[in-house]
């Protein structure tokens, strides 16, 4: 099944001066005949299947070689067939001097002067000239494409690329259609409408130019032009018959690739009698076996010799429209794409690609052996260029994967919205309108959606700084936490929703499984990796096993995920924000306990959340009334009334996407001063009471929040107002979650160490009291546990719980003062 | 009327006349298709009109004439890719150079040569690819439709029953090796490929439709897969795009899966044949007559269901509310109006749940019982999955039409371990209940499809799945007499008038509009505030949500289209009863297992 590459011996056939031809400016006589044949075919001589208009410019047609010695091509570099531009076919010999030809072939033009390719308005000479001018002159000073990295932006771009070709020797020139359009709109139009004719012309132009400039370079074959990014980028769904035979660019996801199909381009026959060789071209997918040997006139003596025939590579690729492009309630469309020659195996299933190619429609035959066709067509795309859309994410950190295109109008509306002074409030109220109040929580989530600015310190050895904001919601059951999570999950493009109960550590990270088809071990990524650059919503966070939760430690600070499984050791990016919801352990929030005690989560994990909100029932009449009104209207308001009140979800989506992609705010001087002050203040509050009330982590949180707030305003600078809001929000969240229920003070150590400072102090006091008690008892080496507890309780003024007593015992045991064995307490020393 | 019959018998003739009249005005692109569709719509508007068109659901395929007009009641199960076709072509007479324009009018024979017997065989009729051939090609999409009702519609319709038993032998025998891809296991019914010509964006997956179209059973449609051998497929580039599996799926034998070329389709708001299919507003007379009866029918139904639910009137009340619930709107992600009921405390003796399901099956147009046994959960495919090899959506049991009653029998659950599929299935059920959506598996990503399914969970204890409302059954019958009692439950004969009354009642109550006046809104709000004032724990926002739904359903079940104070009080009352019962039950359980 191996398929040899296309003919090395194939020579490009062209005359040295194509424009001197008498009737048409085609490069090759034989091709001209093909054009005539095309015209002739209209007059009903051909089979009905012949709807496909093949290029008259199929240079290197086999007939040219069969006929005689190959004419010298450009410096002897072989041309290579381009099956992507249409299948090669053999033209029947038609009388060149047919009367019909002259008048009609150049419809509407002055006969003989401006000749165009049949069926188009392309004049080869002009087209070639234009393209050469484009190559020589096109400069794009503000190019940001990664392909142009390392090129001098003030020099003609494509000349530099040609130079690159001469050095590297890869004879493919990728041309951005956007550049062509900005340079010469007419040329662009021709390229889009008649790619089959124009691209070979481009090839010619490029090769002439190239070999003129680099006469000595040796290439495998002649340079092929591969246009990409046809501005007519389309959704697969909007393809329709008007696009047939035009150059299109569509985006989608590869779902299947076929095995390599060797497509016979030319068959080699040998006569069994006299060993005479002959070659036969494929004609419309069929090889006509010569009935008679031309040399010895024996009939039916020719046999096909497979290994001397010429094949080209071909692969069928199925592309499905990407999930973002799909309207709700419909199944995705798929399109068949054919890749040829070196484009084979360029893409794998699962890749997101932009494909540029020619859209084709082929009639189906009723029976493969008959020429009758059905009225139904099959469509496919002959790929000319692949561009993977998500490839960038691998080596570039700052680039957002979503290359969402915004129309000018859209950008304008977004900017108008951003200019409004109350945009922050507007957006936060547009978030989950069905959920009542909880303004601060919504604001927090809004900032999370925008995220901070990504900073890269890897060169100074500090690695990446987390830009994502993590939020934990805890509170009574039934306070619509899940609903909020579900809303966020639906809002962001790369969101994942898992429930703590239903997910395991592997489900969150990655697991290795055997692919049922290929029987190879494959790494299946879990929710955290899938939500890279998005938000991972984890419901019932408290129900998660410790094992699973421990995975989150790395993700929430380092933003990576290390995997060592079944011989696969790797580190994956997991730059995801986490929005988690947890229920209190006692099903109802106990206001007498700290957050940690209520939700029983390790403090190491809690300290990684930037904001921790409590969602509690406020239990106050005015609130109840508003809530009741809100709920009733939710059920009985008509759809239109609601729409008026709130921003459209799609606007919100676009707003966030735009801000995330284009806005990268930086701290200005004042803001950094304000941040420093805020941090110092926070430290000061605590130091007055002899405890630490802020850690650098809190400062980082503040910075992130301030940046996110600047993004909401579409501002490139973080200003003092952003810092103010960040401070306020942070304080609100702390007030809710880090208040020590015993003292009523905000105590950050509850979150960072899991215990409030007062609680720690109390523990020490009890231990000391116990020690005193034991010492007072004098020289008794062993005591009853229960008796000691009762004594201590009797002695102490405040209530002493069993836990407290045990902790005190443990503290004393740590001091090597005593040991506890079963029900007895022994003194040491 | 006679005219209509001929129309139904030979619609192609009519269509081509439209084309001819259009092209005779030298204006073949004048939108004759739209005119033709409009014409057909007009003709079928009459009440009797659509009965004169044979239905593919009721009449076996071999009784139908090919290329005649038929109707088909169906559920959209999958959508195929669009395909292009030649809308019209011209032929050139070689002697006169005159061009003859022929329409391959919408559902015309698909082979050019068939319509051209007069031309000499030397000149194949050829399709003219003039440079401006664009307008003659249109786009259409394929949709694979499956019938949804054969087993789920146990109405007293004699014809319907007969259809199952008299199914053509070819269908029963050859169906075994051809997977027709029904969502529910064990389903038999015609399935069909419908070709849609316009507005194909307006159809959504899982919509229920009545399609009027032209039947095509030409065997040539299916011949492809068998005839072709490997060598020819390799040589023919047009045909090797599809894998063998894909071809098998996309062009099944036409005798089994007929093709239907759609002329037009109307969405079905419900699939109850007892109810007029047109919108309710047009039938005000019908509506007013039935509305007045609703209260009395409700009493009867309540008595009947109380009997079925072992004498538990409260549970019966909730069951009625459940049966008429339906998602009527969505606020961002929140579906409004769903009312998933968990009937806990079901006796496990005498296959009670099965009987309960049979009763419900009799009452509602479509229903499905999913026994949540460990084996089922681990093996069933609940969520539809895209099969990329065959390029189709492999259906799952949760691909259900709107307002289907899904009966989850949790009493069948036994001890054991759920494997990956099992966990996924349970998650899917949970999502379905909480958000009324199913995430279809597209291998590389998931896609969310909203749905509207009434889920009823029968369990012994509290269900492991979430539910909107839990009622603990309090049987008035002692377990020893259960068997006897159950066998005494009167199963209505298929077509009894009473059963039909119940069916009509349930479908009608679901489709009623509902509103709430400002005055009552105020009262309701006050009520909520008062309740919270007395005891904030007594009612949470979630309880209030539920109370609003209960009040809505209660009003509708009484045939009232707006909330009255009385209904509100009644809703509160039954909610209190239910809650006290649940609490009682919990205490009882806690007391037994300290």
DSSP A256-314: EE---EEEEEEEEEEETTT--EEEEE-BTTB----SB-TTT--BT-EEE-GGGSEEEEE
pLDDT for A205 beyond 80: yes
Smallest CA–CA separation between A264 and chain B, in Å? 9
Which residues 177-206 of B are in CB contact (within 8 Å) with A?
A: 201, 203-206
Query: CATH code for B281-497?
Result: 3.40.50
Smallest CA–CA separation between A195 and chain B, in Å? 15
Ordered DSSP codes for A21-78: -SS---S-HHHHHHHHHHHHHHTTTS-TTTT----TT-TT-HHHHHHSSPPP-GGGPP
Answer left, alpha or beta for residue A734, where phi above 0 means left and psi between -120 and 50 means alpha.
alpha
Question: Of A106, A636, A640, which to mutate for an interface test with B (greatest number of B Cβ within 10 Å)?
Answer: A636
Q: Do B84 and A376 make contact, defined as CB atoms within 8 angstroms?
A: yes
Q: How do residues A218-276 score in pLDDT, each as one tens digit?
A: 777 778 888 887 765 567 777 777 777 888 888 888 877 877 888 888 888 888 888 88
Chain A residues within an 8 Å CB radius of B232: 368-369
Strand, helix or coil at B42?
Answer: helix
Q: Could you say which of B78, B127, B241 has the minimum Cβ distance to residue A316?
A: B241
Count CA atoms closer than 13 A to B370's CA, side-chain side: 28
Ordered DSSP codes for A421-466: TTHHHHHHHHSSTTS---HHHHHHHHHHHH----EEEGGGT-EEEP
Q: Could you say which of A336, A365, A502 has the minimum Cβ distance to residue B236?
A: A365
* B555 in Cβ contact with B517 (< 8 Å): no
Q: How do residues A671-708 score in pLDDT, each as one tens digit?
A: 888 888 888 877 776 655 555 566 777 788 888 888 88
Smallest CA–CA separation between B380 and chain A, in Å? 19
User: How much is the pLDDT for B228?
Assistant: 42
CA closest to A253 among chain B residues:
B444
Q: Do A316 and B542 make contact, defined as CB atoms within 8 angstroms?
A: no
Smallest CA–CA separation between B189 and chain A, in Å? 23
How would you write the pLDDT of chain B (594 residues) with one tens digit per residue?
A: 556 566 666 777 777 777 666 666 655 455 666 777 777 777 766 656 666 777 777 777 777 777 788 888 777 877 777 777 766 655 555 554 444 444 333 333 222 222 222 222 222 222 222 222 222 333 444 444 433 333 333 332 322 222 222 222 222 223 334 455 666 666 666 777 787 777 667 777 777 777 888 887 766 655 444 444 433 444 344 344 455 666 666 666 767 777 777 777 777 776 666 666 555 555 666 667 777 778 888 888 888 888 888 888 888 889 988 988 888 877 766 788 888 888 888 877 767 888 888 888 888 888 888 888 888 888 888 888 887 777 777 778 888 878 888 888 888 877 888 787 888 888 888 888 888 888 888 777 777 888 888 889 988 888 888 888 888 888 877 767 777 777 766 666 655 777 888 888 888 888 777 777 778 888 888 888 887 777 766 677 778 888 888 888 888 888 887 888 888 888 888 888 888 888 887 776 655 443
Rounded to a whole number of angstroms, the distance between the first and last alpha carbons of chain B is: 77
β-strand A310-320 against A334-340: which pairing, if any?
Answer: antiparallel
| CA dist list (Å): A484 to A94, A441, A480, A765, B428 | 74, 10, 6, 44, 19
Q: Do A621 and B391 make contact, defined as CB atoms within 8 angstroms?
A: no
Q: Do A329 and B204 make contact, defined as CB atoms within 8 angstroms?
A: yes
Alpha carbons B529 and A621: distance in angstroms, whole number = 6
Alpha carbons B133 and A332: distance in angstroms, whole number = 28
Chain A residues within an 8 Å CB radius of B233: 368
User: How much is the pLDDT for B215?
Assistant: 81
* A18 in Cβ contact with A25 (< 8 Å): yes
Q: Which of A66, A69, A77, A64 has the alpha carbon at shortest distance from A8?
A: A77
Chain A residues within an 8 Å CB radius of B548: 631-632, 635
Count how many pairs of residues, chain A against chain B, have C-beta atoms within 8 Å: 211
User: How much is the pLDDT for A171?
Assistant: 80
- On whether any CB of chain A is under 8 Å from the CB of B220, the answer is yes
Smallest CA–CA separation between A600 and chain B, in Å? 23
Alpha carbons A474 and A737: distance in angstroms, whole number = 9
Average pLDDT (A37-51) is 35
β-strand A172-176 against A224-228: which pairing, if any?
Answer: parallel
Q: Could you say which of B138, B434, B544 has the minimum Cβ distance to residue A241?
A: B138
User: How much is the pLDDT for B32?
Assistant: 66
Smallest CA–CA separation between B134 and chain A, in Å? 6
Q: Which of A702, A462, A764 has the alpha carbon at shortest distance from A694?
A: A702
Tokens of A259: 């095995």
Give the residue extent of every domain in chain B: 1-85+180-225+241-267, 281-497, 513-593
H or E element, residue B405: strand B404-409
Number of Cβ atoms within 10 Å of the Cβ of B479: 11
Q: Which of B308, B303, B350 has the alpha carbon at shortest distance from B481?
A: B350
Q: Do B333 and A486 make contact, defined as CB atoms within 8 angstroms?
A: yes
Chain B residues within an 8 Å CB radius of A445: none
Give A471-529 as a 3 state SS string. EEEEECCCCCHHHHHHHHHHHCCCEEEEECCCCCHHHHCEEEEECCCCCCEEEEECHHH
Give A649-707 as a 3 state SS string. HHHHHHHHHHHHHHCCCEECHHHHHHHHHHHHHHHHHHHHCCCCCCCHHHHHHHHHHHH
User: How much is the pLDDT for B43?
Assistant: 72
Q: Could you say which of B204, B333, B434 has the minimum Cβ distance to residue A330?
A: B204
Q: Do B540 and A617 make contact, defined as CB atoms within 8 angstroms?
A: yes
What's the whole-model pTM score? 0.70
Which residues 240-299 of B are in CB contact (within 8 Å) with A?
A: 240-241
Chain B residues within an 8 Å CB radius of A316: 240-241
Q: Could you say which of B220, B435, B528 has the minimum Cβ distance to residue A628?
A: B528
Q: Do B81 and A334 make contact, defined as CB atoms within 8 angstroms?
A: yes
* Domains of chain A, earliest start first: 124-228 (3.30.1640.10), 246-388 (2.40.50.140), 755-827 (1.10.10.10)
Question: Of B110, B225, B332, which to mutate for an interface test with A (greatest number of A Cβ within 10 Å)?
Answer: B332
User: How much is the pLDDT for B327?
Assistant: 84
Q: Do B541 and A631 make contact, defined as CB atoms within 8 angstroms?
A: yes
B83 contact partners, CB below 8 Å, separation of at least 6: A376, A377, A378, A379, B139, B140, B141, B142
- CA gyration radius for chain A? 37
């Amino acid at each position: 099944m191996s398929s040899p590459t296309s003919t090395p011996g194939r020579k490009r056939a062209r005359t040295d001066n194509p424009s001197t031809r008498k009737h048409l400016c085609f490069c090759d006589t034989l091709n001209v005949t093909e054009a005539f044949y095309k015209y002739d075919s209209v007059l009903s001589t051909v089979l009905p299947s012949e709807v496909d208009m093949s290029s008259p410019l199929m240079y290197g047609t086999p007939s040219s070689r069969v006929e005689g010695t190959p004419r010298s091509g450009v410096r002897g570099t072989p041309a290579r067939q381009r099956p992507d531009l249409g299948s090669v076919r053999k033209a029947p010999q038609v009388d060149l001097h047919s009367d019909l030809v002259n008048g009609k072939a150049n419809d509407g033009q002055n006969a003989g002067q401006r000749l165009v390719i049949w069926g188009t308005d392309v004049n080869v000479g002009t087209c070639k000239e234009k393209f050469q001018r484009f190559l020589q002159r096109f400069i794009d000073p503000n190019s940001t494409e990664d392909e142009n990295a390392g090129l001098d932006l003030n020099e003609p771009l494509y000349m530099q690329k040609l130079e690159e070709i001469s050095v590297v020797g890869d004879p493919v020139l990728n041309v951005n259609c956007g550049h062509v359009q900005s340079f010469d709109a007419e040329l662009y139009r021709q390229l889009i409408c008649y790619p089959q004719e124009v691209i070979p012309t481009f090839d010619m132009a490029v090769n002439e130019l190239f070999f003129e400039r680099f006469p000595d370079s040796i290439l495998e074959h002649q340079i092929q032009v591969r246009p990409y990014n046809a501005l007519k980028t389309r959704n697969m769904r909007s393809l329709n018959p008007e696009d047939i035979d035009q150059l299109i660019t569509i985006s989608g996801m590869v779902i299947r690739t076929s095995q390599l199909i060797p497509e016979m381009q030319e068959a080699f026959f040998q006569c069994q009698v006299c060993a005479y060789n002959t070659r036969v071209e494929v004609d419309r997918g069929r090889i006509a076996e010569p009935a008679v040997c031309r040399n010895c006139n024996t009939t039916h003596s020719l046999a096909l010799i497979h290994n001397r025939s010429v094949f080209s590579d071909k692969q069928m690729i199925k592309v499905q429209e990407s999930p973002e492009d799909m309207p709700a309630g419909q199944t995705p469309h798929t399109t068949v794409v054919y890749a040829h020659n070196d484009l084979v195996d360029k893409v794998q299933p699962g890749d997101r690609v932009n494909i540029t190619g020619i859209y084709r429609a082929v009639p189906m035959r009723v029976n493969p052996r008959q020429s009758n066709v059905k009225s139904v067509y099959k469509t496919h795309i002959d790929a000319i260029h692949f561009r993977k859309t998500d490839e960038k994410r691998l080596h570039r950190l700052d680039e957002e994967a979503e290359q969402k295109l915004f129309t000018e109008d859209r950008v304008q509306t977004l900017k108008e919205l951003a200019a409004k002074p109350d945009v922050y409030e507007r957006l936060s109220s547009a978030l989950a309108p069905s959920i009542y109040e909880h303004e601060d929580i919504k604001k927090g989530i809004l900032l999370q959606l925008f995220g901070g600015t990504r900073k890269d310190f890897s060169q100074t050895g500090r690695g990446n700084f987390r830009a994502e904001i993590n939020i934990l919601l805890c509170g009574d059951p039934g306070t619509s936490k899940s609903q909020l999570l579900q809303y966020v999950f639906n809002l962001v493009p790369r969101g994942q929703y898992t429930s703590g109960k239903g997910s395991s550590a592997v489900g969150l990270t990655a697991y290795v499984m055997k692919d049922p088809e290929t029987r190879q071990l494959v790494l299946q990524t879990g929710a955290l990796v899938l939500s890279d650059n998005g938000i991972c919503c984890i419901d019932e966070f408290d129900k998660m096993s410790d094992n699973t939760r421990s995975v989150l430690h790395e993700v929430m600070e380092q933003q990576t995920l290390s995997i060592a499984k079944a011989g696969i050791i790797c580190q994956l990016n997991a730059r995801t924000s986490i929005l988690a919801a947890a229920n209190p352990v006692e099903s109802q929030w106990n206001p007498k306990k700290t957050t940690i005690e209520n939700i029983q989560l390790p403090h190491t994990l809690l300290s990684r959340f930037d904001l921790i909100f409590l969602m509690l029932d406020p239990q106050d009449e005015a609130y109840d009334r508003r809530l009741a009104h809100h709920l009733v209207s939710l059920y009985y308001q008509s759809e239109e009334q609601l729409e008026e009140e709130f921003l459209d979800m799609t606007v919100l989506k676009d707003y966030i996407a735009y801000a995330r992609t284009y806005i990268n705010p930086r701290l200005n001087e004042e803001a950094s001063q304000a941040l420093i002050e805020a941090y110092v203040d926070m430290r000061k509050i605590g130091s007055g009471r002899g405890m630490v009330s802020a850690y650098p982590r809190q400062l980082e949180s503040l910075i992130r929040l301030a940046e996110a707030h600047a993004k909401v305003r579409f501002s490139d600078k973080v200003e003092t107002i952003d810092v103010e809001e960040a401070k306020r929000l942070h304080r609100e969240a702390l007030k809710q979650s880090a208040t020590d229920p015993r003292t009523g003070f905000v105590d950050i150590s509850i979150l960072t160490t899991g215990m409030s400072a007062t609680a720690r102090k109390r523990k020490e006091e009890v231990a000391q009291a116990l020690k005193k008690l034991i010492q007072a008892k004098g020289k008794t080496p062993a005591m009853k546990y229960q008796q000691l507890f009762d004594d201590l309780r009797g002695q102490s003024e405040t209530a002493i719980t069993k836990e407290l007593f045990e902790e005190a015992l443990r503290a004393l045991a740590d001091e090597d003062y005593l040991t506890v064995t079963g029900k007895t307490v022994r003194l040491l020393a | 009327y006679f005219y209509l019959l001929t129309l139904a018998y030979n619609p192609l003739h009519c269509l081509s006349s439209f084309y001819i009249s259009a092209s005779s005005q030298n204006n073949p692109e004048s939108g004759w298709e739209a005119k033709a569709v409009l014409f057909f719509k007009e003709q079928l508007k009459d009440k009797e009109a659509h009965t004169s068109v044979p239905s593919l659901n009721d009449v076996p395929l071999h009784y139908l004439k090919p290329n005649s007009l038929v109707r088909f009641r169906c559920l959209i199960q999958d959508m195929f890719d669009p395909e292009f076709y030649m809308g019209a072509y011209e032929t050139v007479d070689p002697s006169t150079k005159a061009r003859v324009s022929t329409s391959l009018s919408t559902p015309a024979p698909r082979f050019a040569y068939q319509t051209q017997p007069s031309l000499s065989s030397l000149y194949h009729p050829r399709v003219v690819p003039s440079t401006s051939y664009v307008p003659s090609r249109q786009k259409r999409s394929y949709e694979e439709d499956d019938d949804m009702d054969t087993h789920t519609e146990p109405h007293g319709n004699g014809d319907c029953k007969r259809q199952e038993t008299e199914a053509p032998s070819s269908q029963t025998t050859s169906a075994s090796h051809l997977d027709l891809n029904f969502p529910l296991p064990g389903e038999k019914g015609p399935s069909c490929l419908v070709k849609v010509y316009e507005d194909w964006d307006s159809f959504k997956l899982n919509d229920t439709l009545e399609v009027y179209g032209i039947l095509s059973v030409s065997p040539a449609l299916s011949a492809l897969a068998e005839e072709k051998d490997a060598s020819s497929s390799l040589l023919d580039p047009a045909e090797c795009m599809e894998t063998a599996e894909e071809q098998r799926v996309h062009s099944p034998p036409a005798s089994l899966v007929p093709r239907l070329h759609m002329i037009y389709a109307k969405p079905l708001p419900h699939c109850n044949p007892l109810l007029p299919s047109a919108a309710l507003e047009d039938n005000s007379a019908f509506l007013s007559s039935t509305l007045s009866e609703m209260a009395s029918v409700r009493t009867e139904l309540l008595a009947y269901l109380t009997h079925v639910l072992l004498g538990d009137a409260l549970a019966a009340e909730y069951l009625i509310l459940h049966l008429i619930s339906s998602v009527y709107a969505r606020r961002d992600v929140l579906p409004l109006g769903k009312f998933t009921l968990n009937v806990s405390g079901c006796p496990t003796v005498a296959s009670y749940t099965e009987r309960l399901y049979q009763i419900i099956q009799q009452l509602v147009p479509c229903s499905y019982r999913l026994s949540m046994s460990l084996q089922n959960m681990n093996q069933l495919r609940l969520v539809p999955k895209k099969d990329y090899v065959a390029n189709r959506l492999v259906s799952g049991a949760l691909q259900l039409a709107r307002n289907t009653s899904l009966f989850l029998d949790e009493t069948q659950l036994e001890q054991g371990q759920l494997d990956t599929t099992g966990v996924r299935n349970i998650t899917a059920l949970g999502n379905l209940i909480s958000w009324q959506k199913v995430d279809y598996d597209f291998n590389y990503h998931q896609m969310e499809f909203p749905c509207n399914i009434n889920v009823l969970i029968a369990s012994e204890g509290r269900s492991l799945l979430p539910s909107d409302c839990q009622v603990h059954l309090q049987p008035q019958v002692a377990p020893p007499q259960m068997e006897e009692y159950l066998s005494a439950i009167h199963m209505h004969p298929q077509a009894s008038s009473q059963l039909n009354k119940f069916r009509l009642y349930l479908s009608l109550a679901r489709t009623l509009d509902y509103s709430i006046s400002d005055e009552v809104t105020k009262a309701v709000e006050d009520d909520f505030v008062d309740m919270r004032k007395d005891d904030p724990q007594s009612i949470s926002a979630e309880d209030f949500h539920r109370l609003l739904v209960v009040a809505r359903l209660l009003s509708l079940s009484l045939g009232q289209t707006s909330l009255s104070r009385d209904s509100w009080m009644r809703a509160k009352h039954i909610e209190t009863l239910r809650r006290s019962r649940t609490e009682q039950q919990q205490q009882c359980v806690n007391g037994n297992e300290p």
